[in-house]
Amino acid sequence: MTAPGGAEASKATAETAETAAEVTEAAAGVTEAASEAAAGVTEAAEAAAEVTEASETAETAETAEAAEASEVAKTATDTATEVTETASETAETATEVTERRLHPVTPLRRAWAPVAVLIGWAVHDPDGAQRHLTRLTTTTLLIGLAVLVPAAALYGFCSWWFTHFAVTESELRIRTGLVFRRVAHIRLERIQAVDVTQPLLARVAGVAKLKLDVIGTDKKDELAFLGADEARTLRAELLARAAGFAPETAHEVGEAPSRQLLRVPPGVLALSLVLTAATWASLAAALVVPPVLWLVTHSLWTVLAVALPLLGAAGASSVGRFVAEYDWTLAESPDGLRIDHGLLDRSHETVPPGRVQTVRIVEPLLWRRRGWVRVELDVAGSSNSVLVPVAPREIAEDVVARVLPGVSVPGPAALSPAPRSARWCVPLWWRGYGLAVTDAVFASRSGLLRRSLALVPHAKVQSVRLTQGPWERARGLADVCVDTGANKTVRARLRDAAEARELLAAQAERSRTGRRDARPDRWMA
Amino acid sequence: MDTGSPQDTGPDASQSTIEAAGGEPVWIALPPGLLKMRRLLLVVWLGLITLAAGLVPGLLAGPAWAAFALPPLALLVWGWVMLERNWRSWRYTERADDLLISRGVLWREETVVPYGRMQLVEVTSGPVERHFGLASVQLHTAAAWTDATIPGLDPAEAERLRDRLTELGEARSAGL
């Protein structure tokens, strides 16, 4: 190579020409073998490497032909790399959109519906049901079953077969529907929360439901059902991708390790429900109203029609809440806050960092002596609202500080009360109102017996409003409302009018600049 | 994300600050077309009701019963005055970083929407509004409670406002 002669150069030319031809062939092979794209990639890459070697050889040759040849070789390399790119692209798309189906038990999720309809009809009209039942012969029954069962099975199978989902780099795609097609692309960086829920029957069957809370998605966009383990790994993968991990590593990141922050003991939960006035009020209503109605009307149907909803409400507010909030566990992990709860239906919610719009610390009257509070939160597009059902105040404040980083809950002393003239607008309850604005949050307290302190981080404020009714204007007062993305409005009621005006301007400024320190949508990137 | 500060808006800032020397924003009132339209609608509807309330009992039960026309007539006169007060109360101003809308006579409301929080700007114009040459601009943020509507604008002004708000919203976009 050091002494370039004519013969050698021509040899090199011939070689490069040959390799170029090879490359073209390989390229053709790649384009042809679209299905075996991965194999094509390696081939093309090998060919490209060969060409590069050859062109290096050619460059050392000083003859014009050799230079020409090297040019040819270069273009060949270029085409080769181009082909490699397209091939790898096809390979990527091939691996990327691996569409998956839901768990095979999914068609059974609505199997109880016809049975429920039949039972409902029988209860509604018992005489008619009996008449129809006696008229049923074995043949009609058999024919009916022979038509209905395969039809239902076919419907169930089709709805399962035509539902696909795929996780791409930035989206979760759900494709569903046989006649009316529907494709939902859900952007992962916009995830507000991820829930894995297991209703009782699903727990028995070992499956789970996965729901992504993104603003604007509807009920159809949940994945029901997946295998319990599959749901868990999928949640981990979705969160990892949403966090900004590279797609190759997203599989391996796996479930982020979590650290338990709090666990509510069943005894404390039960006692907290006993000490809630709403529980007793609904129980009392359910026990008092039906007998009174019976004495007045003597009509069984009226009493039943009133008593059943009342009993239902009483059950929901006592036993129902206990069952739902049983074993409430709160854990912290890099991909968000984990909330696990439920006695019969287990649910595992994850709120990624920086998604909380409002936090409320609620303190019912009877809890005050024990120093317990309840913490509620608002996340846009999500129905989850409880963060901690019951906890001592210090622990709850610690949790709030983790949910809203850099926020310390202002104590009662830090809240400036409403001015005295407010007593003419809202008698007695005006004492409950209070406001504190710190560097990080807008905090407003309301309620006299059941105190509630709402915290809004400045970065989450969408708009600020000042409202003033005729009564308030007569007393020189005004309200300041702060709107957040979870469609919740936090009001600072009955402030001095001049103070409210200043607050309006200052809050608009803070909400604008507050965003600067906020976390990015992809919080790990 | 970090485009909220007025410093990094560059050439935009000079044209966007229309604040007077005292720092008080320059309020823009609504054009008189809206008042004209609302008054016309008021007169048409309440006039019809007055006629019906006066004529029907008056013809059927005697002239004294025509007094039923008085309440709607009073309402018409009162509405005539109130519409003007309400129209006068509407005003808006574009500040460097947010839009201010102030409205209401008895129940006053002042809304501040930072440009960066705007999700979409809408210009709407119904058939009656179009006849009077009016259009309204509505701002939507991620909060449904943000009710930032400016009614009864001149269509050209509405479009200018829409384009400007969209442009500013893009420059300062912050999302949720």
Report how far residue B134's alpha carbon sits from residue B173's, in angstroms, rounded to the nearest whole number.
29
Nearest of A182, A160, A155 to residue A102 by alpha carbon: A160
Report how far residue A446's alpha carbon sits from residue A306's, in angstroms, rounded to the nearest whole number.
33
Q: What confidence score (pLDDT) does residue B3 get?
A: 36
Best A513, A515, A522 residue to mutate vs chain B (most B CBs within 10 Å): A515
Q: SS3 string of A360-403?
A: EEEECHHHHHHCEEEEEEEECCCCCCEEEEEEEHHHHHHHHHHH
Give the pair of three-digit tokens for residue B157. Answer: 């002004």
Q: Which member of B2, B109, B172 has the closest CB to residue A465? A: B109
Q: Please name the residues in contact with B118: beta carbons below 8 A apart, sequence gap of 6 or more.
A: B139, B140, B141, B165, B166, B168, B169
Q: What confidence score (pLDDT) does residue A390 get?
A: 95
- The torsion angle over the Cα atoms of residues A228, A230, A235 and A236, rounded to 10 degrees, is 120
Which pLDDT tens digit goes with each residue over A280-310? 998 999 899 988 989 988 888 888 888 899 9
Angle ∠(A177,A178,A179) on CA atoms, nearest 5: 100
Q: What confidence score (pLDDT) does residue A470 get?
A: 93
A15/A455: higher pLDDT:
A455
Contact present, A394 and A414 (Cβ < 8 Å):
no
B140 φ/ψ angles, rounded to the nearest 5 degrees? -115, 135
- Residue A26 binned pLDDT confidence (cut-offs 50, 70, 90): very low
Report how far residue A78's alpha carbon sits from residue A73's, in angstroms, rounded to the nearest whole number.
9
Q: Which member of B98, B110, B172 has the closest CB to residue A466? A: B110
CATH class of B6-29+93-171: mainly beta
- What 3-state DSSP class applies to B117? helix
A242: part of which helix (H) or strand (E)? helix A228-243
A363 near B CB under 8 A = no
- For residue A182, the cross-strand partners are A176
Lowest mean pLDDT, pick from A77-91, A98-112, A479-493, B21-35: A77-91
The residue of chain A with its CA nearest to that of B103 is A467
Residues of A in contact with B25 (CB under 8 A): none
A123/A161: higher pLDDT:
A161
B165 near A CB under 8 A = no
The distance of Cα A432 from the centroid of its chain, to the nearest Å, equals: 35
| Partner-chain contact A516 B98, CB within 8 Å | no
Average pLDDT over residues B153-165: 92
B151/A179: higher pLDDT:
B151
A476 near B CB under 8 A = no
Give the pair of three-digit tokens for residue B81. Answer: 């005055």
A250 near B CB under 8 A = no
The residue written with tokens 């996780």 in the block is: A167
Lowest mean pLDDT, pick from A329-333, A412-416, B145-149: B145-149
B23 near A CB under 8 A = no
Lowest mean pLDDT, pick from A244-253, B48-57, B81-90: A244-253
A463 near B CB under 8 A = yes
B136 near A CB under 8 A = no
A484 near B CB under 8 A = yes
Report how far residue B68's alpha carbon sits from residue B52's, in angstroms, rounded to the nearest whole number.
9
Average pLDDT over residues A465-494: 91
Best A462, A488, A489, A490 residue to mutate vs chain B (most B CBs within 10 Å): A462
- Residue A3 binned pLDDT confidence (cut-offs 50, 70, 90): very low
CA distance B122 to chain A (A): 17
pTM for this predicted structure: 0.74
B98 near A CB under 8 A = yes
- What 3-state DSSP class applies to A87? helix
Report how far residue A394's alpha carbon sits from residue A406's, in angstroms, rounded to the nearest whole number.
16
Give the residue extent of every domain in chain B. 6-29+93-171, 37-85
